[in-house]
Chain A
């Protein structure tokens, strides 16, 4: 009999034992337990077909048991007859299911392709990295497991994870690494990458001695671990990367996919058994929320740490919903079938819209209060019970969605609101905690990282509701959310106007308001209460700007765009959206300078007092640029390759950089960001990851000068210094460099091009009436 308290580190299917679980015992031991864990999937269809399936599977009684049962189909809103197929060993279930689905393609299936960690969490409540009390027998077979902290606890016991970090001295796709750095706590070791045998022997010894729970690597997925494994085989020196004996590592292929209109690239992955591997360079949002946030994602999605670190927030949301469904005994469909309801075309015009967005007045506005709904879309889903199955096909009576001709069933909690409520409440509680504590609060860093992880999941849950392949998605639910969102924002606008405020800007979930006499947080409080009363949704004051500037679009600075602004709050903090300082593809040289200009403006009572200093700063930056005193790495542009190379008619600078890399055998995929410098002559770019070093003399100084002055002009224009005037000033100050002419303004718009067709009849049909 074995009894202990600890944390569930990892769990996976095993061909012999069923489920294998690794624990961190709080006494310091690491424990491997086994658990026979039969899992069930369901087949749904006509009696005749289900009987045929029964006959087909009934000759394997030792592996598979069959049972007729009633299960909840949440979309049909009733119990349905199903054949439960229970596979004794979870390791076999995907194979059995694949064969079954291939043999019986006409049946529908449910609970078929679920992560074993979700099934385990649904059955035992224990999720990855949960703290639990465990009892096992002499054969290390798990008997009971009780969680001591659920996934919604704010202050959790820290997990005594043993972490080993492994990283090459330079980015391997950029230059050839010379040594490998291994660090455990304060100790650091360097291994020469030229001499593999000693490296392998020493690394093996290190892993054996420290027995890390987590290998935290840089480029471990795409470069380091594949190299280590290859060399370990070559020299016959096993490294013991896995804790689980007798299992190889698990490889997951690289892939490129579309997500919310953007092309995304995920590199190949390497997962370990009994130990976790996270590649910081391939982990999701690592720069944003680090290990604390990744652990949070793992805990609330019930996905093992290695998986949680690499999945998109959409997959995270999907897991939370599936876990909720499993716990509630609701079938998780294998293939989503629900089509849009048949509705009058007249309804499409109101339904097919996003959030409400104003065009702000370009220029400076003083004493503006920014008010935001807190997680507006998730709050709407939870508060108004919006879920794919709560949208009523027969709209009548109460609970009508504003202007959509749809009604919501509020007689019971929907699946999506049920899944989201604790998430939303936890995020709000964490934000409250952070707002109320001083900056030195010991939990601060941990809380803000975890809150950030929750934020990403919440931001995604709305889009996921409308995603075509989401198991619990429905287009009408997605439309209902935006309809409530527009209604809430308009009610907020009306409340503000009724209280005498002028509305400067509306943007999806926030409003900017101004009142000559109401310039302190306490003055805004009555408005917050009024909005809350009119919308029933949580709202908060983001802050009051001393001044905020809305800027025009990148193409035409006189055309207002909704979400491009910068401003300074009363406490001196700066908020920036949509301009170079915030864009991931802008060069550090430009974005840092722009940020510095903002800081200068923010440091004075009257921003115009900062202008002489700002001009001097720009002159200094330009001098540094011309004298090649700016680090080349600060001049890097990081643009995403938007499509396959062949699809470019005139290759973008990023595509030209990729072509360069291709010429030396380095392949890039759409969705990857490619770092490069702008250079003189052709092809006008130099890919940073080329084997030779760039020539500093070849840098296209004039181009960077233009980028810098354009970014500076955006910030300073409201105080009389636009790009043109700045350029003239800098030109007259610096005669040593002749500036090229400014780019030409956008050509006038053309009418639509009419395609000419061969056949006159076809031509008639295709050009429309």
Chain B
């Protein structure tokens, strides 16, 4: 097991890890989650309606018979708007529980909310994550798209890149022309 560790190391306290990758990475993230869930509680915030519970259960099943018990260790909350995502971060318990944010930027691509307002909300969210990371491991996945939403994708990714301590970027070949600079 733990094949995914050859790809990204487990998140560590004091550091924010960022994965920039297309949707396919969910499976790997679920394997990482399965490993964490067998060690203790994990918090998952899903900003892209992409939490794959069945993949997680399968990943758990490969290494344990206690699938239900491990599934209870994963605490999940889904955000459907950027307001909700930031509200969730503000309400998180600060007790050292690792936090994984899935598809962090999707809810910020909502054209019904003014762009500067979204940028401000994102900055708030990242501040909260920085505070959380002081006492708990934090990992963020920023999803890349085959058809980016104007320039907003890029502009919203920049503060994420600036906040993260470790960054992994994975790309599918046909998205190469939209390659995002790391810095």
Contact = CB atoms under 8 A, between A and B. Distances in A.
Q: Do chains A and B touch in the complex (CB under 8 A)?
A: yes
A264 to B, nearest CB: 15
A769 B5 CA distance: 11
Contacts of B21: 762, 765-766
Contacts of B78: 340, 475
A730 to B, nearest CB: 47
B13 interface: no
Contacts of B84: 336-340, 468
B27 interface: yes
Nearest to B168: A765
B171 interface: yes
Interface string A337-354: 111111111101100000
A712 B134 CA distance: 69
Contacts of B81: 336, 468-469
Nearest to A755: B172
A105 B120 contact: yes
Interface string B39-72: 0000110000001010110010000000010011
Given A342-B75, A349-B53, A766 B4 contact: no
Contacts of B31: 768-769
Contacts of A341: 77
Nearest to B23: A766
Contact of A335 (B8, B22, B44, B83): B83
Interface in A744-769: 755-759, 761-762, 764-769
Given A344-B71, A345-B44, A768-B55, A762 B171 contact: yes
Given A348-B76, A349-B53, A762-B171, A768 B24 contact: yes
A105 B55 CA distance: 40
A411 B84 CA distance: 28
B158 interface: no
Nearest to B37: A345
Contacts of A342: 43, 75-77, 88, 92
A448 B73 CA distance: 53
Contacts of B164: none
A656 to B, nearest CB: 23
Given A343-B75, A769-B28, A757 B173 contact: yes
A762 B25 CA distance: 9
Contact of B7 (A340, A469, A764): A764
Contacts of A768: 24, 26-28, 31, 55
B81 to A, nearest CB: 5
Nearest to B67: A346
A326 B85 CA distance: 28
Interface in A454-495: 468-469, 475
B74 interface: yes
B170 interface: yes
A346 B77 contact: no
Given A105-B117, A344-B75, A348-B51, A755 B24 contact: yes
Contacts of B155: none
A761 B3 CA distance: 11
Interface residues of A, number: 31
Interface string B1-34: 0011011100000000000011011111001000
B149 interface: no
Nearest to A473: B80
A759 B27 CA distance: 17
Contacts of A767: 24, 27
Nearest to B55: A768
Interface residues of B, number: 47
Main secondary structure of the interface of A (DSSP, over half): loop
B173 A345 contact: no
B79 to A, nearest CB: 6
Question: Which of A105, A344, A768 neighbours the largest number of chain B CB atoms within 10 Å of its CB?
Answer: A768
B91 to A, nearest CB: 7
Nearest to B120: A105
Nearest to A101: B117
Contacts of B59: 769
Contact of B25 (A105, A335, A759, A765): A765
Interface in B97-133: 112, 117, 120
Nearest to A758: B173
A214 to B, nearest CB: 33
A758 B177 CA distance: 13
Contact of B171 (A105, A335, A468, A757): A757
Contact of B72 (A336, A338, A346): A346
Interface string A117-152: 000000000000000000000000000000000000
A336 B120 contact: no
Nearest to A340: B77
B87 interface: yes
Nearest to A352: B53
A767 B51 CA distance: 16
A80 to B, nearest CB: 15
A756 B22 CA distance: 13
B77 to A, nearest CB: 5
Contacts of B176: 758
Given A337-B84, A338-B84, A344 B7 contact: no
Contacts of A757: 170-173
Nearest to B147: A647
B74 A345 contact: yes
Nearest to B34: A769
B68 A766 contact: no
B79 A339 contact: yes
Contact of A765 (B28, B55, B85): B28
A337 B56 CA distance: 28
Contacts of A469: 81, 112
Nearest to B8: A765
Interface string B161-183: 00000000011110010000000
B7 A761 contact: yes
A757 B59 CA distance: 23
B24 A339 contact: no
A337 B84 CA distance: 5
B4 A769 contact: yes
Given A475-B80, A764-B3, A765-B4, 10 more contacts: A336-B83, A337-B83, A339-B91, A340-B77, A341-B77, A342-B92, A344-B74, A468-B80, A759-B170, A761-B6
26 contacts: A336-B84, A337-B84, A337-B87, A338-B84, A339-B84, A340-B78, A342-B92, A344-B72, A345-B72, A346-B74, A349-B53, A757-B171, A757-B172, A757-B173, A758-B172, A761-B6, A762-B171, A764-B6, A765-B170, A766-B170, A767-B27, A768-B26, A768-B27, A768-B31, A769-B28, A769-B59
Q: Which 4 A-B pairs have the closest CB atoms?
A: A768-B27, A468-B80, A766-B24, A346-B71
Interface of B: 3-4, 6-8, 21-22, 24-28, 31, 43-44, 51, 53, 55-56, 59, 68, 71-81, 83-85, 87-88, 91-92, 112, 117, 120, 170-173, 176
Interface of A: 105, 335-346, 348-349, 468-469, 475, 755-759, 761-762, 764-769
